Chain A
Amino acid sequence: MTAYNRNTLVVGIAIALVVGGVLSYLRSESPDGLEKTQEHLGVAEPASGTVEPPPSIFQDYNLKVLGGGFWANAAGGAIGCLVVMGLLLGVGSILGRARRARKPPRTTAE
Protein backbone atom coordinates (compact mmCIF):
# COMPACT_ATOMS: atom_id res chain seq x y z
CA MET A 1 0.00 0.00 0.00
CA THR A 2 1.28 3.45 -0.84
CA ALA A 3 2.03 5.93 1.94
CA TYR A 4 -0.71 8.15 0.53
CA ASN A 5 -3.36 5.47 0.92
CA ARG A 6 -2.07 4.45 4.35
CA ASN A 7 -2.31 8.03 5.55
CA THR A 8 -5.84 8.34 4.18
CA LEU A 9 -6.83 5.28 6.20
CA VAL A 10 -5.07 6.21 9.44
CA VAL A 11 -6.16 9.84 9.61
CA GLY A 12 -9.64 9.11 8.28
CA ILE A 13 -10.45 6.32 10.71
CA ALA A 14 -9.03 8.36 13.59
CA ILE A 15 -11.45 11.19 12.80
CA ALA A 16 -14.35 8.78 12.41
CA LEU A 17 -13.54 7.07 15.73
CA VAL A 18 -13.44 10.40 17.56
CA VAL A 19 -16.85 11.33 16.11
CA GLY A 20 -18.45 7.90 16.56
CA GLY A 21 -16.77 6.93 19.82
CA VAL A 22 -16.48 10.21 21.71
CA LEU A 23 -18.53 13.05 20.21
CA SER A 24 -21.55 10.75 19.80
CA TYR A 25 -21.70 10.37 23.59
CA LEU A 26 -23.03 13.94 23.70
CA ARG A 27 -25.87 13.16 21.29
CA SER A 28 -29.42 14.23 22.00
CA GLU A 29 -31.66 11.45 23.30
CA SER A 30 -34.79 13.13 21.84
CA PRO A 31 -36.66 11.27 19.10
CA ASP A 32 -35.46 12.21 15.63
CA GLY A 33 -37.44 14.20 13.08
CA LEU A 34 -39.23 11.17 11.61
CA GLU A 35 -40.05 9.58 14.98
CA LYS A 36 -41.35 12.90 16.28
CA THR A 37 -43.48 13.45 13.17
CA GLN A 38 -44.95 9.96 13.48
CA GLU A 39 -45.76 10.70 17.11
CA HIS A 40 -47.26 14.07 16.21
CA LEU A 41 -49.44 12.68 13.41
CA GLY A 42 -50.53 9.73 15.53
CA VAL A 43 -48.99 7.06 13.31
CA ALA A 44 -49.73 3.86 15.20
CA GLU A 45 -46.93 1.66 16.43
CA PRO A 46 -46.75 -1.19 13.94
CA ALA A 47 -48.77 -4.23 14.92
CA SER A 48 -47.65 -7.82 14.76
CA GLY A 49 -46.53 -9.28 11.47
CA THR A 50 -43.60 -6.92 11.13
CA VAL A 51 -40.22 -8.27 10.22
CA GLU A 52 -38.32 -9.21 13.37
CA PRO A 53 -34.80 -7.79 13.35
CA PRO A 54 -32.02 -10.26 14.09
CA PRO A 55 -30.93 -10.23 17.75
CA SER A 56 -28.33 -7.59 18.37
CA ILE A 57 -25.50 -7.09 20.85
CA PHE A 58 -26.27 -3.36 20.68
CA GLN A 59 -29.03 -1.27 22.19
CA ASP A 60 -29.32 2.26 20.80
CA TYR A 61 -25.74 1.91 19.53
CA ASN A 62 -24.51 1.02 23.04
CA LEU A 63 -22.66 -2.27 23.41
CA LYS A 64 -25.07 -4.05 25.76
CA VAL A 65 -22.51 -5.95 27.85
CA LEU A 66 -20.95 -2.63 28.90
CA GLY A 67 -24.26 -1.18 30.10
CA GLY A 68 -25.09 2.32 28.94
CA GLY A 69 -22.28 4.68 29.87
CA PHE A 70 -19.49 6.35 27.96
CA TRP A 71 -17.60 3.14 27.19
CA ALA A 72 -20.69 1.26 25.99
CA ASN A 73 -21.32 4.07 23.52
CA ALA A 74 -17.64 4.31 22.55
CA ALA A 75 -17.49 0.58 21.85
CA GLY A 76 -20.77 0.66 19.90
CA GLY A 77 -19.57 3.56 17.76
CA ALA A 78 -16.06 2.22 17.22
CA ILE A 79 -17.23 -1.28 16.25
CA GLY A 80 -19.70 0.21 13.75
CA CYS A 81 -17.03 2.44 12.18
CA LEU A 82 -14.66 -0.50 11.80
CA VAL A 83 -17.33 -2.83 10.42
CA VAL A 84 -18.42 -0.27 7.83
CA MET A 85 -14.83 0.50 6.87
CA GLY A 86 -13.93 -3.19 6.64
CA LEU A 87 -16.96 -3.93 4.49
CA LEU A 88 -16.15 -1.07 2.11
CA LEU A 89 -12.45 -1.92 1.85
CA GLY A 90 -13.54 -5.46 0.96
CA VAL A 91 -15.98 -4.25 -1.68
CA GLY A 92 -13.38 -1.79 -2.99
CA SER A 93 -10.68 -4.41 -3.31
CA ILE A 94 -13.03 -6.77 -5.16
CA LEU A 95 -14.02 -3.96 -7.53
CA GLY A 96 -10.35 -3.06 -8.08
CA ARG A 97 -9.40 -6.66 -8.76
CA ALA A 98 -12.29 -7.08 -11.20
CA ARG A 99 -11.18 -3.98 -13.05
CA ARG A 100 -7.56 -5.12 -13.27
CA ALA A 101 -8.64 -8.55 -14.50
CA ARG A 102 -10.67 -6.97 -17.29
CA LYS A 103 -8.04 -4.50 -18.37
CA PRO A 104 -4.54 -5.81 -17.63
CA PRO A 105 -2.01 -3.06 -16.98
CA ARG A 106 0.56 -2.47 -19.66
CA THR A 107 3.51 -2.96 -17.34
CA THR A 108 4.11 -6.02 -15.20
CA ALA A 109 5.74 -3.93 -12.47
CA GLU A 110 2.80 -4.37 -10.07
Chain B
Amino acid sequence: MHIGSGFLSPPVWGAMAAVSGACVAGSLALAGRRLDERKVPLMGVMGAFVFAAQMVNFSIPFVPGTSGHLGGGLLLGVLLGAPLGIIVMASILVVQALVYQDGGIEALGANIFTMGILACLLGALVRPLWTRPRPGRMADIITFAAGVVGLVASATLVILMMWWSGSVPRGVSLLEALGAMDGVHFLIGVVEGLASVAVVRFVLSMRREAVLGIDAPAPDPAKEAAR
Protein backbone atom coordinates (compact mmCIF):
# COMPACT_ATOMS: atom_id res chain seq x y z
CA MET B 1 0.00 0.00 0.00
CA HIS B 2 2.97 2.32 -0.60
CA ILE B 3 1.80 5.58 -2.14
CA GLY B 4 4.12 6.44 -4.99
CA SER B 5 5.52 9.81 -5.96
CA GLY B 6 3.18 12.34 -7.52
CA PHE B 7 -0.17 11.11 -6.18
CA LEU B 8 -0.39 13.51 -3.21
CA SER B 9 -0.57 17.29 -3.35
CA PRO B 10 1.94 19.35 -1.34
CA PRO B 11 -0.58 20.39 1.37
CA VAL B 12 -1.54 16.75 1.92
CA TRP B 13 1.93 15.22 1.93
CA GLY B 14 3.26 18.19 3.88
CA ALA B 15 0.66 17.78 6.60
CA MET B 16 1.25 14.03 6.77
CA ALA B 17 5.02 14.52 6.93
CA ALA B 18 4.57 16.94 9.82
CA VAL B 19 2.24 14.60 11.73
CA SER B 20 4.39 11.54 11.14
CA GLY B 21 7.59 13.38 11.90
CA ALA B 22 6.15 14.53 15.22
CA CYS B 23 4.97 10.98 16.02
CA VAL B 24 8.36 9.45 15.23
CA ALA B 25 10.15 12.11 17.30
CA GLY B 26 7.74 11.48 20.17
CA SER B 27 8.30 7.74 19.85
CA LEU B 28 12.08 8.17 20.03
CA ALA B 29 11.70 10.29 23.18
CA LEU B 30 9.29 7.83 24.81
CA ALA B 31 11.23 4.72 23.81
CA GLY B 32 14.48 6.06 25.20
CA ARG B 33 12.91 6.54 28.58
CA ARG B 34 12.12 2.90 29.32
CA LEU B 35 14.03 0.63 27.03
CA ASP B 36 14.66 -2.95 28.08
CA GLU B 37 18.01 -4.22 26.77
CA ARG B 38 16.38 -7.40 25.49
CA LYS B 39 14.11 -5.38 23.24
CA VAL B 40 16.90 -3.97 21.07
CA PRO B 41 17.80 -7.23 19.29
CA LEU B 42 14.11 -8.08 19.08
CA MET B 43 13.31 -4.81 17.34
CA GLY B 44 16.22 -5.37 14.95
CA VAL B 45 15.08 -8.80 13.85
CA MET B 46 11.39 -7.90 13.84
CA GLY B 47 12.25 -5.02 11.52
CA ALA B 48 14.13 -7.37 9.21
CA PHE B 49 11.24 -9.84 9.33
CA VAL B 50 8.55 -7.27 8.51
CA PHE B 51 10.70 -5.88 5.69
CA ALA B 52 11.02 -9.43 4.33
CA ALA B 53 7.32 -10.23 4.83
CA GLN B 54 6.34 -7.08 2.92
CA MET B 55 8.26 -8.41 -0.09
CA VAL B 56 6.02 -11.48 -0.28
CA ASN B 57 3.08 -10.37 -2.41
CA PHE B 58 0.38 -13.02 -2.39
CA SER B 59 -2.54 -13.44 -4.78
CA ILE B 60 -5.80 -12.24 -3.28
CA PRO B 61 -8.61 -14.78 -3.38
CA PHE B 62 -11.64 -13.70 -5.47
CA VAL B 63 -9.73 -10.78 -7.03
CA PRO B 64 -7.71 -12.10 -9.96
CA GLY B 65 -4.72 -10.10 -11.12
CA THR B 66 -4.28 -8.36 -7.80
CA SER B 67 -1.84 -9.04 -5.01
CA GLY B 68 -1.48 -7.95 -1.44
CA HIS B 69 1.28 -7.96 1.12
CA LEU B 70 1.39 -7.75 4.88
CA GLY B 71 1.68 -4.40 6.58
CA GLY B 72 3.15 -5.74 9.78
CA GLY B 73 2.52 -2.65 11.89
CA LEU B 74 -0.13 -4.38 13.98
CA LEU B 75 2.13 -7.24 15.06
CA LEU B 76 4.95 -4.77 15.81
CA GLY B 77 2.59 -2.72 17.97
CA VAL B 78 1.55 -5.83 19.89
CA LEU B 79 5.06 -7.22 20.36
CA LEU B 80 7.02 -4.00 20.93
CA GLY B 81 4.41 -1.43 22.00
CA ALA B 82 3.58 1.74 20.09
CA PRO B 83 6.80 3.79 20.37
CA LEU B 84 9.22 1.01 19.36
CA GLY B 85 6.78 -0.33 16.78
CA ILE B 86 6.54 3.09 15.15
CA ILE B 87 10.35 3.42 15.12
CA VAL B 88 10.68 0.00 13.45
CA MET B 89 7.98 0.69 10.87
CA ALA B 90 9.39 4.14 10.04
CA SER B 91 12.86 2.62 9.56
CA ILE B 92 11.51 -0.01 7.17
CA LEU B 93 9.60 2.56 5.13
CA VAL B 94 12.61 4.88 4.97
CA VAL B 95 14.80 2.06 3.65
CA GLN B 96 12.11 1.04 1.15
CA ALA B 97 11.71 4.60 -0.15
CA LEU B 98 15.37 5.61 -0.22
CA VAL B 99 17.06 2.33 -1.17
CA TYR B 100 14.38 0.36 -3.05
CA GLN B 101 12.30 3.16 -4.64
CA ASP B 102 9.18 1.62 -3.09
CA GLY B 103 6.91 4.50 -2.05
CA GLY B 104 7.45 8.13 -3.02
CA ILE B 105 9.99 10.19 -1.08
CA GLU B 106 7.54 13.05 -0.50
CA ALA B 107 4.83 10.51 0.39
CA LEU B 108 7.00 9.01 3.14
CA GLY B 109 5.14 10.77 5.93
CA ALA B 110 1.80 9.60 4.56
CA ASN B 111 3.09 6.04 4.21
CA ILE B 112 4.55 6.06 7.73
CA PHE B 113 1.20 7.24 9.04
CA THR B 114 -1.02 4.73 7.21
CA MET B 115 1.16 1.63 7.45
CA GLY B 116 3.08 2.46 10.62
CA ILE B 117 1.51 4.78 13.14
CA LEU B 118 -2.11 3.76 12.67
CA ALA B 119 -1.33 0.04 12.79
CA CYS B 120 1.14 0.29 15.67
CA LEU B 121 -1.32 2.27 17.81
CA LEU B 122 -3.94 -0.37 17.14
CA GLY B 123 -1.42 -3.06 18.07
CA ALA B 124 -0.58 -1.25 21.28
CA LEU B 125 -4.29 -1.20 22.16
CA VAL B 126 -4.41 -4.98 21.72
CA ARG B 127 -1.10 -5.59 23.51
CA PRO B 128 -2.52 -5.86 27.07
CA LEU B 129 -4.45 -8.93 25.94
CA TRP B 130 -1.13 -10.64 25.16
CA THR B 131 0.89 -9.53 28.18
CA ARG B 132 -1.46 -11.34 30.54
CA PRO B 133 -0.13 -14.64 31.88
CA ARG B 134 -2.26 -16.79 29.58
CA PRO B 135 -3.55 -15.06 26.47
CA GLY B 136 -6.72 -16.85 25.50
CA ARG B 137 -8.91 -17.21 22.44
CA MET B 138 -10.14 -13.65 22.96
CA ALA B 139 -6.65 -12.32 22.24
CA ASP B 140 -6.64 -14.24 18.94
CA ILE B 141 -10.07 -13.00 17.90
CA ILE B 142 -9.52 -9.35 18.78
CA THR B 143 -6.08 -9.31 17.16
CA PHE B 144 -7.49 -10.86 13.99
CA ALA B 145 -10.30 -8.28 13.96
CA ALA B 146 -7.77 -5.50 14.51
CA GLY B 147 -5.87 -6.75 11.47
CA VAL B 148 -8.95 -6.42 9.28
CA VAL B 149 -10.14 -3.11 10.75
CA GLY B 150 -6.65 -1.61 10.70
CA LEU B 151 -6.01 -2.41 7.06
CA VAL B 152 -9.41 -1.11 5.94
CA ALA B 153 -8.84 2.06 7.97
CA SER B 154 -5.44 2.56 6.35
CA ALA B 155 -6.88 1.93 2.88
CA THR B 156 -9.65 4.45 3.58
CA LEU B 157 -7.13 7.07 4.63
CA VAL B 158 -5.05 6.44 1.50
CA ILE B 159 -8.09 7.10 -0.70
CA LEU B 160 -9.05 10.20 1.32
CA MET B 161 -5.56 11.61 0.93
CA MET B 162 -5.64 10.99 -2.81
CA TRP B 163 -9.12 12.52 -2.95
CA TRP B 164 -7.99 15.68 -1.12
CA SER B 165 -4.99 15.78 -3.46
CA GLY B 166 -7.25 15.74 -6.50
CA SER B 167 -5.70 12.52 -7.82
CA VAL B 168 -9.01 10.67 -8.07
CA PRO B 169 -10.59 11.42 -11.49
CA ARG B 170 -13.65 13.72 -11.56
CA GLY B 171 -16.02 11.06 -12.84
CA VAL B 172 -15.37 8.81 -9.85
CA SER B 173 -17.34 9.38 -6.67
CA LEU B 174 -15.61 9.15 -3.31
CA LEU B 175 -17.87 6.26 -2.38
CA GLU B 176 -16.91 4.35 -5.50
CA ALA B 177 -13.22 4.91 -4.83
CA LEU B 178 -13.57 3.82 -1.22
CA GLY B 179 -15.55 0.76 -2.25
CA ALA B 180 -12.88 -0.40 -4.68
CA MET B 181 -9.99 0.23 -2.30
CA ASP B 182 -11.64 -1.07 0.88
CA GLY B 183 -13.06 -4.17 -0.79
CA VAL B 184 -9.62 -5.38 -1.83
CA HIS B 185 -8.02 -4.37 1.45
CA PHE B 186 -10.68 -6.11 3.48
CA LEU B 187 -9.46 -9.38 1.94
CA ILE B 188 -5.80 -8.44 2.48
CA GLY B 189 -6.81 -7.54 6.04
CA VAL B 190 -8.06 -11.06 6.64
CA VAL B 191 -4.58 -12.36 5.78
CA GLU B 192 -3.00 -9.58 7.86
CA GLY B 193 -5.16 -10.60 10.84
CA LEU B 194 -4.36 -14.30 10.56
CA ALA B 195 -0.64 -13.69 10.04
CA SER B 196 -0.49 -11.22 12.94
CA VAL B 197 -2.00 -13.75 15.34
CA ALA B 198 0.40 -16.47 14.15
CA VAL B 199 3.51 -14.28 14.40
CA VAL B 200 2.54 -12.83 17.78
CA ARG B 201 1.94 -16.32 19.17
CA PHE B 202 5.24 -17.59 17.77
CA VAL B 203 7.37 -14.71 19.04
CA LEU B 204 5.68 -14.81 22.46
CA SER B 205 6.40 -18.51 22.75
CA MET B 206 10.08 -17.95 21.88
CA ARG B 207 10.85 -14.57 23.44
CA ARG B 208 8.25 -13.76 26.08
CA GLU B 209 10.75 -12.00 28.37
CA ALA B 210 11.90 -9.65 25.61
CA VAL B 211 8.32 -8.92 24.53
CA LEU B 212 7.23 -8.12 28.08
CA GLY B 213 10.47 -6.34 28.93
CA ILE B 214 10.24 -4.12 31.98
CA ASP B 215 6.46 -4.56 31.89
CA ALA B 216 7.06 -8.11 33.10
CA PRO B 217 5.96 -8.92 36.63
CA ALA B 218 8.85 -8.89 39.11
CA PRO B 219 10.53 -12.29 39.36
CA ASP B 220 9.45 -14.55 42.18
CA PRO B 221 11.87 -13.81 45.07
CA ALA B 222 11.87 -17.47 46.15
CA LYS B 223 12.97 -18.58 42.69
CA GLU B 224 15.57 -15.83 42.53
CA ALA B 225 17.05 -16.96 45.85
CA ALA B 226 17.27 -20.54 44.60
CA ARG B 227 19.52 -19.50 41.69
Interface residues of A (CB under 8 A from B): 2, 4-6, 8-9, 11-13, 15-17, 19-21, 23-24, 26-34, 36-38, 40-47, 49-54, 56, 58, 61, 76-77, 80-89, 91-93, 95-96, 98-99
Contacts and interface: CB of A to CB of B under 8 A. Distances in A.
Interface stretch (B99-107, B120-128, B137-145, B219-227): B99-107
A91 to B, nearest CB: 6
B5 A46 contact: yes
Majority SS at the chain A contact face: helix
A16 B35 CA distance: 23
Given A27-B56, A27-B67, A41-B172, 11 more contacts: A2-B37, A9-B44, A11-B206, A12-B42, A12-B49, A17-B48, A32-B1, A47-B6, A50-B5, A80-B55, A86-B44
Nearest to B64: A30
Contacts of A52: 5
B91 interface: yes
9 contacts: A5-B40, A12-B46, A12-B49, A32-B69, A34-B158, A87-B94, A88-B91, A92-B39, A96-B37
A5 B41 contact: yes
B197 interface: no
B75 interface: no
Given A43-B168, A99-B32, A30 B95 contact: no
Most buried by B among A9, A12, A77: A12
* Size bin of chain B's contact surface: 35 or more
B49 A30 contact: no
A37 B92 CA distance: 24
Contacts of A29: 57, 67
Interface of B: 1-7, 28, 31-35, 37-49, 51-53, 55-60, 63, 65-69, 87-88, 91-92, 94-102, 104-106, 155, 158-159, 162, 167-169, 171-172, 176-177, 180-181, 184-185, 188, 206-207, 209-210
A9 B206 CA distance: 12
Contacts of A98: 32
Nearest to A59: B101
B52 A95 contact: no
Contacts of A53: 5, 97-98, 101, 104-105
In the A-B complex, the 9 residue pairs with the closest CB atoms: A46-B6, A12-B45, A20-B52, A50-B6, A92-B40, A16-B48, A28-B67, A81-B48, A19-B52
